[in-house]
Chains A and B, each alone.
Chain A
Amino acid sequence: MAPSVLPLLLWMIVPLLMTVYFSFINKKLMDPTAGGFVGLQNYVYLAGDPAFVPALINTLLFIGAVLIITVVAGVLLAVLYDQEFFGKNVAMLLVIAPFFVMPTVSALIWKNMIMHPVYGLISLGLQKIGLPAIDWFADYPMLSIIIIVSWEWIPFAFLILVTAIKSLDVEQKEAAAIDGAGPLTQFRYIVLPHLYRAITVVIMIETIFLLGIFAEIYTTTGGGPGTATTTLTFLVFALGLQQFDVGIASAGGILAVILANIVSIFLVRMLAKNLSQPS
């Protein structure tokens, strides 16, 4: 296993230790004279940065909202596309298509062609029925990002859940139907418990990816207006590669790592269970 373990070990350990080290020293990319151990000062500065608390709140709000939207929509769609109907496979391909669009393309298409305040399709549609146009990215910046990212990730949740729902025992449902269980009761007591595990997987994997969402914000709002769409990832990027303050940015990076680890402990534990019972 050495060929894979060694590079991964280097890839994880060296930069991570450097990030930890940087987070305790006064280091600036453009100022070679800065230096020296500063203890927890970077963390204190970061906590005092006017963008920090909003970034933390934005991160949690964003991840929470997208998770709820994608999981609920994913479950409903999985139930719908579990039925047989004409052209089902083609319709499913259409639903999962957004997942394959590169993030910068999705962001720009939504920003320019759909949510644009003057020429966007939504505004044109609203004006046609006599309603005022909406300036999405100025008035509802976070909501706009959530909509775009949900459009990208509902297909993911759907794809995983529709795969999981197929493994449901048909006889179990038939037996329940004979016993007089309606569709809602079946959903509540048979389908949902069956999907429980897949939903957990979706939530955990999405959390990891959503924590790192970057391109969608970078190409649409650049974290603004103000700090309205600045997430933890974006804040670290702005501090480190725009303001060149490596020390404070590293402190932010460490916080992101801690946040991700809390989630991944659960994920890894679950996958470990899966690994010990080969299918």
Chain B
Amino acid sequence: MSKLIITTLGWLIGIMFFFPIFWIGITAFKTEKDALSPDLIFTPTLESFGEVFARSNYFLFARNSIIISIGSTLLCFLLAIPSAYRMAFFPTQKSQSTMLWMLSTKMMPAVGVLIPIYIIWQRLGLLDSLPGLIIIYTLVNLPIAVWMAYTYFMEVPKGILEAARIDGADVWKELWYLLRPMTMPGLASTALLLIILSWNEAFWSLNLTSANAAPLPVFIASYSSPEGLFWAKLSGASFLAVAPIMILGWLTQKQLVRGLTFGAVK
């Protein structure tokens, strides 16, 4: 096949896949009236963003999204790092089956535990609360975090650690001076992946939150009906919700493969 055909095809398909996202971006800068026509020639305006900010409590939803995704990612790391550290550097016979068991919790369809979680959360006063959603997202993402941290720890040459121990380094020095710098890039992209997953999660947020703790996916869902025809506003809100995370996603695409396939494809 000639280079020209491949180049054209490659770009054409890329543009096709990206088109709906491009269209969100375009419509976000139109007035409501212009938004209904597909014209590419129009006077750009920030009207829709102004209305999103003014008429809905957009900032509450955005704030919730930020707190929940960062909070759950931090909590996840707090739990995952010690576990992954133990299993990577002091493996026992049970380590492997523990890792696999953790993975298998990821296979559990959320709907299988939806009703009990709803009832427990109601009793504990966690329904529609930020801690309630942070706990859920932490648990949902924990297997991915442990698994990825484990694969990054396994890549650290064992000899270096032994040398440090002979030189008298304790666990904390070992963690801070050796493992932190060596695994930082990997762990940083793990964190980004967790933030992306939490940011976009829509099953638990739709079912467990409403007015107080709802993150952006719930806010966008509120545009579904009957005022769904305010396209410029919908696009403005979507643009703000999608743009930052897409950039993070592009930056982490390689680690994404490892994280989402639990290391089966690298």
Residues of B within 8 Å of A201, CB to CB, are 261, 264-265
Complex interface bits, B91-124 against A, C-beta within 8 A gives 1, otherwise 0: 0000110111011111111111111111110000
Question: Does B157 count as interface, using CB distance less than 8 angstroms?
Answer: no
Closest to A216 in B: B202
- Which residues of B have CB within 8 Å of A197? 264-265
Task: Choose from A15, A99, A101 the contact partner of B117 (Cβ within 8 Å).
Answer: A15
Instruction: Report yes or no: A271 in contact with B117, Cβ–Cβ below 8 A.
Output: no
Among A224-279, those with CB < 8 Å from B are: 232-233, 236-237, 240-241, 246, 249-250, 252-254, 256-257, 259-261, 263-264, 267-268, 270-272, 274-276, 278-279
A165 shortest CB reach to chain B, Å: 10
Interface residue B133 (Cβ < 8 Å from any Cβ of A):
no
Closest residue on chain B to residue A233 by CB atoms? B111
Judge whether B113 and A15 touch: CB under 8 Å.
yes
- Expressed in whole angstroms, the minimum distance between the Cβ of A69 and any Cβ of chain B is 13
- Which residues of B, 226-247, contact A by the 8 Å Cβ criterion? 228-229, 231, 234-235, 238, 241-242, 245-246
A214–B154 CB distance below 8 A = no
The reply to whether A19 and B113 contact each other, CB–CB distance below 8 Å, is yes
Question: Binary interface profile of A, 136-176, with partner B (CB < 8 Å = 1, else 0)?
Answer: 00000000000000010011100110011000000000000
Known contacts: A19-B112, A160-B260, A268-B103. The answer to whether A114 contacts B20 by CB under 8 A is yes
Interface stretch of the complex, out of A46-54, A102-110, A185-193? A102-110
B266 within 8 A of A: yes
Q: How far is the CB of B138 from chain A (nearest CB, A)?
A: 8
A3–B242 Cα gap in the complex (Å)? Answer: 33
Give the CA-CA distance A104 to B221 in the complex, in Å: 6
In the assembled complex, how far is the CB of residue B256 from the closest CB belonging to chain A, in whole angstroms? 7
Chain B positions within 8 Å of A14 at CB level: 116, 120
Consensus secondary structure, chain A interface? helix
State A5–B103 Cα separation when bound (angstroms).
11
Q: Which residues of B contact A (CB under 8 A)?
A: 1, 3, 6-7, 9-11, 13-15, 17-18, 20-21, 23-24, 27, 36, 38, 78-80, 82-83, 86-87, 95-96, 98-100, 102-120, 138-139, 142-143, 146, 154, 196, 199-200, 202-203, 206-207, 216-218, 220-221, 223-224, 228-229, 231, 234-235, 238, 241-242, 245-246, 248-250, 253-254, 256-257, 260-266
- What are 22 A-B residue pairs whose CB atoms fall within 8 Å in the complex? A1-B86, A1-B98, A2-B83, A5-B102, A8-B105, A12-B105, A80-B9, A85-B3, A91-B14, A95-B17, A97-B250, A98-B18, A100-B249, A159-B253, A160-B265, A197-B265, A208-B106, A212-B111, A240-B118, A257-B112, A261-B107, A267-B107
Contacts A100-B249, A102-B217 supplied; 15 other A-B pairs, CB < 8 Å: A11-B105, A12-B105, A14-B116, A19-B115, A22-B115, A87-B11, A97-B21, A104-B218, A108-B223, A108-B234, A109-B23, A113-B27, A249-B114, A253-B112, A271-B264
- Across the A-B interface, the 10 shortest Cβ-Cβ residue pairs: A264-B107, A94-B14, A215-B202, A100-B249, A18-B116, A15-B113, A91-B14, A15-B116, A4-B83, A94-B18
